[in-house]
Amino acid sequence: MATTLEAPGWLEPERLEDVRGRVPMVYVEAVPVRVDHLGRVTRVGFLLRPQSDGTLSREVVSGRVLLGESVREALWRHLTKDLGGDADPQLPPTAAPFTVAEYFPDPTRAAQHDPRQHAVALCYVVPIDGEAAPSQDALDFAWLTPEEVASPTIAAELSPGHAVLVRRALAHCGVAA
């Protein structure tokens, strides 16, 4: 099996930095949820990751779409990589996102900010039927109720961009948060 840097569609760090400075990058973002028998959101899942400044942040699943990879393939790859092989994500039947988020290097342009690049993210709510566990660089994975997500304590643990994204995802699902 090829390593990440050997995989088709992956760029070496130097080339990736150059491309990020020239064109918007395409990402997928997935808000993992648990739903009841009527499809109502009962829990929202978050990864806990260390940040470059030494702080911890709660995040949704996010990652780039690789050259030649479909949006659904990218969603599946990132969900299973970040939540483990037993997560059993239920991908939406269509590739239509609930919203599109734009991340800008200039923090004054929008709530979503990425100092590395201009990125466009296709955003999905994805029910998880299996057991999710943190993988890669995540320290923990937790299921929170929509009420907990709306609390000031949890909202402060989310990046500003992901806080906006999760509020939009819950509103899209008919949940007031």
41-56 pLDDT tens trace: 999 999 999 988 888 9
In 3-state terms, what secondary structure has residue 152?
helix
For the residues 11-20, what does the mean pLDDT come to?
A: 78
Supply the pLDDT for residue 1: 45
For residue range 52-76, list pLDDT tens digits in order: 888 899 999 999 999 899 999 999 9
* Structure-model confidence comparison of residues 12 and 35, the more confident one: 35
Among 85-89, 107-111, 144-148, which is the least confidently predicted range? 107-111
Q: Domain ranges for the chain, please list them.
A: 23-172
Q: What is the pLDDT of residue 20?
A: 67
Domain range 23-172, CATH architecture: Alpha-Beta Complex (3.90)
Q: How open is the CA angle 167-171-172, to the nearest 5 degrees?
A: 115
